[in-house]
Amino acid sequence: MTICGIEMFGSEARLVLLNGDKSTFFHAKTKPKKLKLTNDGNPDEVKAFRDSIFAFFRENNVTLIAIKKRGKKGDFSGGPVGFKLEGIIQLYDDCPVKLVAAQTIAAKQKKESPDKPDSLLKYQYVAFETAYSVLQ
């Protein structure tokens, strides 16, 4: 099983791929590590983002996409561009897309507390935790 964990941060999607299961997972080093939408008002750039992220999923044989769910209201709510990116990703038909609540991710981390692979960059930690939380 190949899981793509995604954290939306501003106008970029931060990506992490995990292969395997909870007991024997490994971090697949891939490029790109994040994809950015520079102008969400330009339809060509929105389509280019869609094409790039869908190609990433296909090239890496992703079997499940896990996106960290963001609040719609309050202090930690997501911005409009992030929700646009999330919507684009949810349109991917070749595998299931799951939104994972921050509370679920935190509970899994507290219960199992996996070591983060050395190959991760610091900005990928949340995407890693999101992917790990849905590993079987």
Which residues span the domain enclosing 83? 2-133
Read off the pTM. Answer: 0.92
d(CA 12, CA 63): 22
Which residue ranges of the chain lie beneath pLDDT 50?
none
**Strands (E) located in 29-96:** 34-36, 64-68
Terminal-residue alpha carbon distance, the chain: 9
Structure tokens given for 28: 């697949």
Residue 75: the pLDDT is 67
Residue 136: the pLDDT is 77
Number of domains in the chain: 1
Residue 4: the pLDDT is 96
Domain of 20, CATH number, reads 3.30.420.10
Residue 76: the pLDDT is 65
**Strands (E) located in the chain:** 2-9, 12-19, 26-28, 34-36, 64-68, 97-100
Peptide bond into 32 cis (omega under 30): yes
Half-sphere exposure of 75 (CA within 13 A, CB side): 0
d(CA 128, CA 121): 10
Q: Are 133 and 68 in contact (CB under 8 A)?
A: no
